[in-house]
């Protein structure tokens, strides 16, 4: 029952969080994310360089037009998220920054997996990397079981996850 309330609450948040971002706003958001990561008092650890491009415009357009369900499964958290409302799905796609991460800090581990469905079929999966302490704010996408694309998470996305975890009583 608690999860039904959580999903309902999250859907309400997504409806109210419709944003119209310009490229300029997106770039300033990404620069804010970088500053947050750089201002961390943690020691800088080695990182694994990655060379994955951003999701293509065609993939994003296909998701915007045809995706009818998004699932999140978190590895070590007692919650999951499912979205089947078109407005919520479009809002969720706004969590994608067009900027790509250049590396994955070794301290960063995926906290969950995001699944995009079209007509009941999973057509795209992404590892969700979100760790404020380590400066991890990005997705790594899989096609046919292989890492293929990577995108940073926009500040709207970081806020969304923070709100979800806060409502669930999870400290991030």
* 172 band by pLDDT with thresholds 50, 70 and 90: low
End-to-end Cα, the chain, rounded Å: 23
Instruction: Write the pLDDT tens digit of every residue in 69-106.
Output: 999 999 988 888 999 999 999 999 999 999 999 888 88
Which pLDDT does position 28 carry in this prediction?
43
**40 or 170, greater pLDDT:** 170
- H or E element: which one contains 129? strand 121-131
Burial class (CB in 10 A: 0-12, 13-18, 19+), 141: buried
Burial annotation 126-137 (CB, 10 A radius, 16+ → b, else e): bbbbbbeebbbb
Average pLDDT, the chain: 77
pLDDT at 1 over 80: no
Give tens-digit pLDDT for 10-54: 343 333 443 333 344 444 444 434 343 444 443 444 557 678 999
pLDDT at position 164 is: 84
Instruction: Please give the pLDDT value at position 46.
Output: 53
- Given a contact cutoff of 8 angstroms between Cβ atoms, the answer to whether 63 and 107 are in contact is no
C-beta of residue 112 within 8 angstroms of C-beta of residue 72: yes
């Amino acid at each position: 029952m608690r999860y039904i309330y959580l999903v309902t609450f999250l859907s309400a948040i997504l409806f109210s969080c419709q944003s119209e971002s310009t490229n300029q706003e997106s770039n300033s958001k990404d620069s804010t994310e970088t500053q947050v990561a750089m201002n961390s008092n943690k020691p800088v650890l080695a990182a694994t360089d990655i060379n994955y491009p951003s999701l293509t415009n065609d993939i994003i357009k296909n998701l915007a037009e045809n995706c009818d369900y998004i699932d999140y499964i978190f590895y070590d958290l007692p919650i999951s998220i499912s979205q089947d409302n078109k407005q919520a799905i479009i809002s969720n796609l706004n969590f994608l920054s067009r900027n790509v991460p250049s590396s994955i800090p070794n301290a960063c581990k995926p906290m969950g997996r995001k699944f995009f469905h079209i007509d009941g079929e999973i057509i795209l999966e992404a590892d969700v990397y979100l760790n404020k302490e380590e400066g991890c704010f990005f997705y790594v996408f899989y096609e046919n079981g292989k890492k293929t694309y990577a995108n940073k998470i926009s500040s709207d996305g970081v806020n969304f996850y923070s709100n979800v975890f806060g409502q669930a009583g999870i400290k991030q």
